[in-house]
Amino acid sequence: MTDPAAPPTPPVPLAALLAREDLGLRQLAGPDARAAGTAVQWVHTSEMPDPYPYLLGGELLLTAGVHITDPAGADGHLDDYVARIVAAGGAALGFGVAPLHDTVPRALVEACDRVGLPLVEVPPRTTFSGVARAVWRLMAEARHAELRRVTEAQQGLATAAARPDPVPAVLRQLAARLVGVAVLYGPDGAELQRAGHEPDDGVRDGVRDALRGLTAVVRRAAPAAPASAADTAGSTHLAAYALGGGRGFALGVATDRREPGDHTIAGAAVVLLSLLTGEHQGASEAARSAALVRLLLGAPVSQTGPLLGGDRWSVVHARGEGGPLAASALAAALGTGLVDPRKPGEAVRLLVPADREVAPADGWTLGVSAAAPPAELPSADAQAARALRRAEATRVPLVRHRENGLAGLVAPEEADAHARVLLAPLAAGKALTPTLRTWLSLHGSWDRTAVALSVHRNTVRQRIARCESLLNMDLSDPDVRMELWFALSR
């Protein structure tokens, strides 16, 4: 099944739940949670005999065994049940003892052992809601610790950049924060600066060679070169980042472990090192930045086009976490200095040369327009906005504007006018339009829509019923769904 969008909080180690004495959980089957590093991203309760359609992956599935009619497992149902959980990507199975079963069925324990699915016994005194509450609390604590670590690291990096020797200072700070090695490479692949804890003599040369090879992948030898890359050398985690400006400089990082927030911290270092190693902005680049500002403030294209030149550009709309520093990191990753960070909650907008491939960026959802000359940038801006809405609705990291398909058969002005008229009744409720868009993007799944919107499935049903009433349409009709999806994509 397709991997779902990751939740906005770090996963919870199953071992942390098992360590909670107030829960009294006990692992009965599957690989040891601590040794295997089993992580839980969600909690879901279901008594369905086949839970597969209701799982997103990464769940701790809780059940009281209502569907188990033969605890001995002679009919093979338990093997099929466990196999379906594994196929859906479930992280672990929690079985509530009492009131239906005095003990966890032995056949279920054996079935979980055969497929390597962790099976946890939930004692009678522990409610399923109590388990879910513990998971959410651990997630919130982990998220808070991660944000504090990232904030402190960004402050430390900014302070280092203000020192008399800023480049080595930033590298030392980055290596200390990630507990590893940070290396700055020149356009020819030579090491210019190095900081941090070196590996043992037996693996040092191998790690150095692997890291140098990885940074060669991201150096701007070609417009389509990726902005970052990751690999491993034995037990060492490697990451490489291209520095903005397209001059071939790169940052390499080697660590013994990879923690949540490492990529964000490295992104802040990439922005600072791009500024520290880059040349001062030339007159032509400054003119282009000014043109972008004027364009976004509504200046006529006749005034901005000459400054932007005769090249073709792609407009990118991006939404993600973080403020101006994160937007600058995204701009550096895409190899452009033309960025409008916007206000919190609004989409970041960028102009990227059309010959440069826009690739997905960690932590961001992107909408990319078709390539356009300066005179057609307002239309490209609208294309990028629609592409971003489609990306958010379908929960994919990047969507590009498509010239073909039904949208290409209708003039944009006519399509927009039709969408406004068709969807006007939904203005009666602020949550109706996003709920309908998400529900359609997930093929009418009540459970997945509820998870995506963080509401109860009954709330989704009520909102969709309200949409059906206001629109006076039968939402079970495929033609109606197609027309609505076309309108919602505008």
**What is the structure's pLDDT at 329?**
67
- Residue 371: helix, strand or coil by DSSP? coil
What is the gyration radius of the CA atoms in the chain, in angstroms?
26
For residue 241, which phi and psi values (nearest 5 degrees)? -135, 130
Tokens coding 72: 């001995």
Per-residue pLDDT band for 373 (boundaries 50, 70, 90) equals confident
Residue-range domain boundaries for the chain: 12-138, 163-277, 283-403, 412-488
**What is the structure's pLDDT at 280?**
38
CB 229 within 8 A of CB 214: yes
**What is the structure's pLDDT at 149?**
86
Which architecture, in CATH terms, is 163-277? 2-Layer Sandwich (3.30)
Angle subtended at Cα 444 by Cα 441 and Cα 448, rounded to the nearest 5 degrees: 75
Angle subtended at Cα 332 by Cα 326 and Cα 338, rounded to the nearest 5 degrees: 95
Instruction: Round to whole Å and give the CA distance between 49 and 66.
Output: 9
Instruction: Round to whole Å and give the CA distance between 218 and 266.
Output: 15
Rounded to 10 deg, the angle between the 301-308 and 377-394 helix axes is 80
Per-residue pLDDT band for 217 (boundaries 50, 70, 90) equals confident
**What is the structure's pLDDT at 284?**
47
Across 298-323, average pLDDT: 66
Per-residue pLDDT band for 2 (boundaries 50, 70, 90) equals very low
| Span 244-269, pLDDT tens digits | 756 678 899 998 888 878 888 888 88
**What is the structure's pLDDT at 146?**
83
| Span 93-142, pLDDT tens digits | 999 998 889 899 999 999 999 999 999 999 999 999 999 999 988 888 88
More confident residue, 340 or 108: 108
**What is the structure's pLDDT at 65?**
92
Per-residue pLDDT band for 225 (boundaries 50, 70, 90) equals low
Name the CATH superfamily housing domain 12-138.
HprK N-terminal domain-like (3.40.1390.20)
Same fold, 163-277 and 412-488: no
**What is the structure's pLDDT at 281?**
43
Residue 260's nearest CA partner among 11, 91, 40, 3 is 11
**What is the structure's pLDDT at 364?**
84
- For 412-488, CATH gives 1.10.10.2840
Instruction: Round to whole Å and give the CA distance between 53 and 41.
Output: 17
Type and span of the H or E element at 43: strand 42-45
Across 63-86, average pLDDT: 90
Instruction: Round to whole Å and give the CA distance between 21 and 7.
Output: 26
Instruction: Round to whole Å and give the CA distance between 408 and 454.
Output: 34
CB 368 within 8 A of CB 316: yes
Instruction: Round to whole Å and give the CA distance between 105 and 404.
Output: 56
Tokens coding 306: 């000459």
Mean pLDDT for all residues in the chain: 80
